[in-house]
Structure 1
Amino acid sequence: MPTLLLLTLLASDPNAASRMERESIADLSTAELAFSDGRTKLSQHRGQPIVYAWFRDAGYSMDAAERAAKLQADYARKGLIVVLLDTESDGSLDQNSKSRAFLLGRFSGYNGASGGLNCSAPVKQTYDAGAGIALIGVDGRLVTRGACREVGGKLTKLIGAELSMAKKGWGDDDLAKKIRALAFGKGAYAAAVALVEANPEPAVQEAIADVENRVAGEFARLDALTAHGRVQAADILIEELAESLKGRDDWIKALAQRQERWLSFRTEALIAFDKHCRRAESALDRGKALSKSQYEALKALKVETLGSERLEAILALSSALGAR
């Protein structure tokens, strides 16, 4: 393509650079690309760009993880998913490793995958001293991949283009594009599918499949939140899905079943939470600081469950009494 024509194309279409580099990849399963939020396939993230960073527990290899942490902070609320892979891990991170300290201490809420290069991930062909980054687009295609020093500088612009594509929809078919824009741009999954009652066009059916896969992923997220006792996050997701799925009876029924299970679990979680707090408060009333294990357990409970003012007060008082 002539240089002038290429520059004209990029200037007129901010998504052009992203599309020009796109590459089809397999719909990776949990065994190949593990997400900690419950979703089991790449297709269940449709409409969300994914940054996949792999690194080793040494030196400049950590640059990829550092870059991923920055992207997580800047774009997670806008829909970006960030996945970190420790290529030296055999499935359980060494308690004393730098990567474990980084993941748990500075990257709260990360999605973690381990198993090194045995996984058929989009990093396999570009392994570079154990560190690199890949960007998977909102359509599930690979946008770019390589060493952090090679692709890191253009990630921000590419991510912005992907997020814009999610809002506006994508595809050559106007109806398919409209379906995706409504589903992924506005979060109206049921309304998006309702645009089409019986349209056999492959492009339209592909768009509907994208929405259905994303809904399956949202249900998987809710199941994972329930299993891990994430009270607040599950409540928020249930509320969002109740609105997004309105008008689609089978989806609403599936949500209601999950909500019923969640309410039962939530009651048990609240009882356990109160028990933990009472035990800690009893020790603090006697002027005794919590042990390190008790303190860390309560900190984890704060993040995973309720994050209430009551727990904040317990942790603050224990710190004042000398807990570390």
Structure 2
Amino acid sequence: MFLELLLIYSPALLFGFLFFRNYRKEPRQFRNALYLLMLCLFLFYGLSIQFQMPWLVIVGLAFIPFGTAALVVFLLANTFVVVRREGFSLSHILPALFALFIVAVCVALPLFVMLQAPPFVLALSGLVVLEGSYVAFTFLALLLYSWLYRRLPKRSDYDYIVVHGAGLSGTQPTPLLAGRLDKGVEVWEAIGRRALIIVSGGRGADEQVSEAAAMRTYLIEKYGVPANAIIEEDRSATTMENLRNSKALMDVRSGAGTYRAAVVTSDYHVFRTAEYAHKIGLAADGVGSKTARYFWPTAFIREYIAVSSEHRWPFVVLFALWLVPTALILFAR
């Protein structure tokens, strides 16, 4: 009986070992998301076999087409809501574009087979399905792990709290940025107001003041944060620049590797920020502020694209795996 259970759960045990080992070593890595999803899938499969409920797997497989259709409808509806509230832009129609991508992945190959398309067209549609399947898997994995990462226990003894910029409305923080600042103050107060707050954000071409300056004013006027407890970093324009420039300020002030920081950003943005911090050697925990529900899908799709661009090699490997047999088959005809 033990050996039988061991065999059933061996894949789940393998990915569970990989997940917990890598999580303990460094929780800010994308591979953790993949290990966690594989653990959940194989654990679900093992339970269905152990308790003789194979119908669970059948229900799970049957849910895929219905869940996919529901997701497409949701994304299209969400695009309408976002555009109505925020205005039309490429980033705001990302849910609709993602929905169209899902439809293309699901429909392309069967449609071209029915139409008896040329072999090369069939091969290209097969590549779309292959890459699209990887996108679906990693998107779900990142969504699951991002949710988990935001809820992991955080330290209570930070030396610095870095709040990332998120745009201005005139000279005032946007609601999104105000939420980040509010969360930063919450963390600051929770640790006894001992940390220094770094407000990080440069001045855009259409902005009257730098984001850092507006953030500083907001903290002083709304919360009474002492001016000497705030450090401005007013040269950054991207997440990575926020982190690099803030790290440089902290290194000069405290010495590299001698401090611990919290990086405060929107909840959808926490994992990528934490991963970037790990990449540049910054000892920091990601802390997230709440984002409006209607805006969350748009924001998270953008996050997925950014994270995937940092981990491009699987897409290249899948392309190579598709290219070699495809070339052999097509040239052999």
What TM-score, normalized by structure 1, do the two folds share? 0.26
Select the structure that is richer in helix: 2
